[in-house]
Amino acid sequence: MSLSIGIHDLSIATGEFVLPHTALAAHNGTDIGKYHVGIGQESMSVTAADEDIVTLAATAAAPLIARHGTDRIRTLVLATESSIDQAKAAGIYVHSLIGLPSATRVVELKQACYGATAALQFAVGLVRRDPAQQVLVIASDVSRYDLDSPGEATQGAAAVAMLVGVDPALVRIEDPSGLYTADVMDFWRPNYRDTALVDGQESVGAYLQAVEGTWKDYTEQGGRTLEEFAAFCYHQPFTKMAYKAHRHLLNYCGRDTDPDTVTAALGETTAYNRVIGNSYTASVYLALAALLDQADDLTGKSVGFLSYGSGSVAEFFAGTVVAGYRDHLRTDAHREAITRRTEVGYDAYRALHEHRLPADGGDHATPAQTTGPYRLAGISGHKRLYATR
């Protein structure tokens, strides 16, 4: 009998502040319907000056450690496209902040928004090799585009931490996977830039091509039929993209694309992304968190995952929700992470967007803004200094 391996626990975190899209629309004179209806976004999480992918990741992971301890965790994989260092893995800072043992491997993975799915699949492989161990997978990103650019309205920030092991309490990850890679310049961020470059039309087309490619491969590998899935978690650069992608999949498979069918498959996966914004690697797993926290009993039901990362790499795979999963959810904590954010106006958001750490290697403290458990206290000698509140 094959091992049951999957997501044993899941926790989310997001930024200190929130900018409603009404404030963005008022600034740039855009009809609010373009945001609320056109891209399906209501607000975006904004990080404090003393928050980054490390503090978000540690905040997401700490509840898992509090519940399960560290004895079985032998690996931490942090997926991000908002890396803070070209050499040192951001996960090493997290390792220290949450108190993991020294006998731990830590690595950072990058492939645009797809990285967390690679991390999850690598984790499944490690656990299959050694079922006694657990793997901590964290997706953490801060999405930032140029001010007044088309991508500005899709910004966001979040982390999702997942504990992967045998006999999972939430979702069993299944074989096979459908895979797809194409060399596309739809979204990228050269080393000399701290905001991404986007070809919006190209990106939508590349995403839809990846939907076809992953599903074709998934089917050829002997995967489930479309009708076997109770819901689908898509990467959501903006929530309306998930709807566009699912309609495309239904069309590709020769199925009806009536709105009720699409809403039934996706409706409960968009709640968190709609108010947090694009969280890159964390996006598809925020969709899973929203689904598990809101749906009627999903016990024994299959969920489809479509993970897309620009450039581009994509994967389609299935997970089955296990019996008793509701007893292990963190629904109240997840909703608190969202409702606790402090609303900021456009000017305050713009100041936070333009805040940068000095690059002179001197001693610089960061403004104390976050009320979360971890903060980026400052830099000294080109070294980042983190603190526990």
Q: Give the domain extent around 227.
A: 5-388
Contact predicate 322/303, CB 8 Å: no
Contact predicate 234/242, CB 8 Å: yes
The residues annotated with a catalytic role in the active site are 81, 113, 235
Instruction: Give just the sign of the alpha carbon dihedral 320, 325, 329, 335.
Output: positive
CA dist list (Å): 297 to 5, 194, 269, 322? 21, 42, 14, 10
Closest CA to 142 of 10, 11, 47: 47
* Cα radius of gyration rounded to whole Å, the chain: 20
pTM above 0.95, yes or no: yes
pLDDT in tens, 24-77: 999 999 999 999 999 999 999 999 999 999 999 999 999 999 999 999 999 999
Name the strands in the sheet holding 171-181, side by side, starting at the edge strand that comes first in the sequence.
Answer: 105-109, 73-79, 134-143, 156-166, 5-14, 171-181, 313-321, 302-309, 229-234
End-to-end CA distance of the chain: 46
pLDDT in tens, 258-308: 999 999 999 999 999 999 999 999 999 999 999 999 999 999 999 999 999
For residues 74 and 105, give the distance between their C-alpha atoms in angstroms, rounded to a whole number. 6
In our burial notation (b when 16+ CB lie closer than 10 A, e otherwise), range 339-360 reads eebeebeeeebeebbeeeeeee
Closest CA to 317 of 198, 204, 250, 235: 235
For residues 258 and 261, give the distance between their C-alpha atoms in angstroms, rounded to a whole number. 6
pLDDT at 200: 86
pLDDT at 287: 98
Q: Does residue 1 carry a pLDDT above 70?
A: no
Name the pLDDT band for 116 (thresholds 50, 70, 90).
very high
- Our count of domains for the chain comes to 1
Name the pLDDT band for 194 (thresholds 50, 70, 90).
confident
Helix (H, G, I), strand (E, B) or coil at 58: helix
pLDDT in tens, 129-173: 999 999 999 999 999 999 999 999 999 999 999 999 999 999 999
Helix (H, G, I), strand (E, B) or coil at 9: strand
CA dist list (Å): 67 to 102, 160, 163? 20, 16, 11
Which tokens in the block code for residue 203? 């990106």
Task: Give the pLDDT mean for 203-228.
Answer: 97
The proportion of the chain whose per-residue pLDDT surpasses 90, expressed as a percent, equals 98
Look up the CATH number of the domain holding residue 206: 3.40.47.10
Q: Does residue 103 carry a pLDDT above 70?
A: yes
Helix (H, G, I), strand (E, B) or coil at 183: coil
pLDDT at 389: 87
Closest CA to 203 of 81, 80, 308, 316: 308
DSSP annotation of 327: G
pLDDT at 2: 84
Nearby residues of 75 by Cβ (< 8 Å), 6 or more positions away: 104, 105, 106, 107, 123, 126, 133, 135, 136
215 exposure class (CB count in 10 Å sphere: 0-12, 13-18, 19+): buried
Beta-carbon neighbour count of residue 157 at 10 Å? 30
CA dist list (Å): 348 to 18, 46, 149? 10, 10, 18
CA atoms within 13 A on the CB side of 185: 3
DSSP annotation of 169: S
